[in-house]
Amino acid sequence: LQKLIHLLQATDDPLIQEQALITLSNSAAFSVNQDIIRNLDGLSVIGGMLSNCVPKVKEKALNALNNLSMNTKNQEEIQVFITQVCRTVESAPLNSDVQLAGLRLLTNMSVTSDYHQRMINSIPCFLHLLSEGTERTQIQVLKVLVNLSANPAMTRHLLRAQV
């Protein structure tokens, strides 16, 4: 895992980045690896890939963070990327793999109310995706909105959102 994280930092080759992210994502299926990746500063390295201009690399980074977000200690570190993930969801092509990967990560990060405040500005986008997206996109958006709606502090923001 350490070598993969170093490889991810050392290369500019999108194909190598993509493969390293896929491997890290698959490794994150095991909770012991989630801790190891966090302890090796892998979350910030993977999060740094969100700025990559290659859609496949960005998608694989979102998928890796999604798998790593099943751990509450990891969520504490991943939460710094929520605003960037929301912007990615908003700017990605409608119904794209990048958009869906971002929505899946936001679904996991919104299971508890700890990070809802970071998603407030994206509520209009979520509602737009609900009306314009395909069924797959709508389902992912609904999962995020259901999680947000479970928090009474979000009621005003959900009802006042401009669509």
* pLDDT value, residue 103: 98
- pTM for this model (two decimals): 0.96
CA atoms of 116 and 148, how far apart (whole Å): 6
CA atoms of 158 and 148, how far apart (whole Å): 8
Residue with tokens 């990070």: 115
The predicted-structure confidence for 7-43, as pLDDT tens digits, reads as follows: 999 999 999 999 999 999 999 989 999 999 999 999 9
The predicted-structure confidence for 84-104, as pLDDT tens digits, reads as follows: 999 999 999 999 999 999 999
CA atoms of 103 and 98, how far apart (whole Å): 9
The answer on pLDDT for 163 being more than 90 is no
The predicted-structure confidence for 108-158, as pLDDT tens digits, reads as follows: 999 999 999 999 999 999 999 999 999 999 999 999 999 999 999 999 999
* Burial annotation 17-51 (CB, 10 A radius, 16+ → b, else e): bbebbebbbebbeeeebbebbbeeebbebbbebbe
Confidence of residue 162 (pLDDT cuts 50, 70, 90): confident
Section 47-66 average pLDDT: 97
Confidence of residue 107 (pLDDT cuts 50, 70, 90): very high
Residue 159 CB burial class (10 angstroms; 0-12, 13-18, ≥19): exposed
CATH 3.40.50.300 assigned to domain 1-79? The reply is: no
Domain ranges, ordered by start, for the chain: 1-79, 80-162
